[in-house]
């Protein structure tokens, strides 16, 4: 089943008229931004104009005049973030080595189901995480988390949020994807950081913290991209130019962000404090 759009009197399938765009863009975007979660960082989408029609795309469309837009993820999973809900037909084509999505029917592009419903492909690391969203557990491996935070400079609350989402603090956890231990390290990641026993809580937390430090340096402190890469791999984040449109990764990122806020509050760090 393909997604169908909600259209106002100023909209037409495949885009919007210029008059409708000018009259309603500011109001619509402000209203939709209000639905976005404040805890998820912005990412870039594109408003593209061609033949007096406006479309949304994940990269500049060939032949269109495109403007970059910063959007945030909404409370309900939505591929177009705070610019949604966009439920029109969606088209895709691989450009420059990455899959690009657009609401415009472009010759040579294939119509697809809504990207927000995409499941991770076979072999992907993407997962929702075995830990459930719940109250902070400050008693679980507290000394190891504090020590890893001191050694790596990664915030204690962030380490705990990742562990909570990944394994629910189960040192013996093993996922169907092959991840192991408290921090759910994949075997190749464990080897890269010299983790001899992934089921040792101290080794797993230390290796996970060093891996997160590497990701934080790579993404210049953008915790949304750090969580996405920890979940689905650096290659997936690079391929999509941001958080991949996998339902598993989208749900995981939102869960980690929510847990992070809870652990910060439980550890006495108010919202907005460094």
List the catalytic residues. Answer: 166
Q: Between vectors from CA 80 to CA 77 and to CA 84, what angle results, nearest 5°?
A: 85
Separation of first and last alpha carbons in the chain: 46
Q: Between vectors from CA 20 to CA 19 and to CA 26, what angle results, nearest 5°?
A: 110
Q: Report the side by side order of strands in the sheet with 98-102.
A: 65-71, 43-50, 53-57, 98-102, 90-95, 110-112
Euclidean distance between CA atoms 224 and 214, whole angstroms: 14
Please report where in the chains the tokens 């450009």 appear, as a residue: 95
Name, in order, each residue with C-beta under 8 angstroms of 54's C-beta and a sequence gap of 6 or more: 15, 16, 18, 21, 47, 48
Q: What are phi and psi of 71, to 5 degrees?
A: -130, 165
Radius of gyration of the chain (CA): 20
Token pair for 22: 């000018």
Greatest Cα pair distance, the chain, in angstroms, is 63
Name, in order, each residue with C-beta under 8 angstroms of 66's C-beta and a sequence gap of 6 or more: 46, 47, 48, 49, 57, 60
């Amino acid at each position: 089943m393909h997604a169908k759009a909600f259209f106002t009197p100023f909209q037409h399938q495949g885009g919007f008229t210029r008059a409708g765009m000018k009259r309603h863009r500011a109001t619509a975007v402000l209203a939709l931004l209000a639905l976005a979660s404040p805890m998820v960082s912005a990412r870039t989408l594109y408003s593209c104009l061609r033949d007096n029609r406006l479309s949304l795309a994940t990269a500049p469309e060939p032949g269109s005049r495109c403007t970059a837009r910063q959007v945030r993820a909404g409370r309900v999973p939505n591929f177009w973030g705070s610019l949604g809900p966009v439920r029109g037909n969606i088209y895709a084509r691989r450009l420059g080595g990455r899959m690009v999505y657009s609401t415009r029917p472009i010759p040579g592009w294939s119509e697809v189901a809504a990207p927000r419903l995409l499941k991770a492909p076979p072999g992907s690391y993407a997962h929702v995480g075995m830990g459930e969203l719940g109250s902070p557990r400050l008693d679980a491996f507290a000394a190891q988390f504090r020590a890893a935070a001191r050694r790596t400079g990664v915030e204690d609350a962030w380490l705990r949020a990742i562990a909570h989402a990944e394994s629910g603090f189960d040192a013996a956890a093993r996922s169907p994807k092959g991840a192991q231990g408290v921090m759910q390290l994949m075997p190749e990641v464990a080897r890269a950081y010299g983790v001899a026993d992934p089921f040792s809580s101290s080794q797993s937390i230390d290796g996970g913290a060093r891996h997160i430090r590497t990701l934080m340096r790579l993404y210049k402190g953008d915790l949304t991209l750090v969580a996405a890469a920890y979940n689905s791999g650096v290659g997936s984040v690079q391929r999509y130019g941001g958080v991949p449109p996998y339902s598993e990764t989208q749900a995981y990122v939102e869960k980690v962000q929510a847990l992070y806020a809870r652990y910060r509050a439980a550890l006495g760090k108010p919202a907005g404090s460094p």
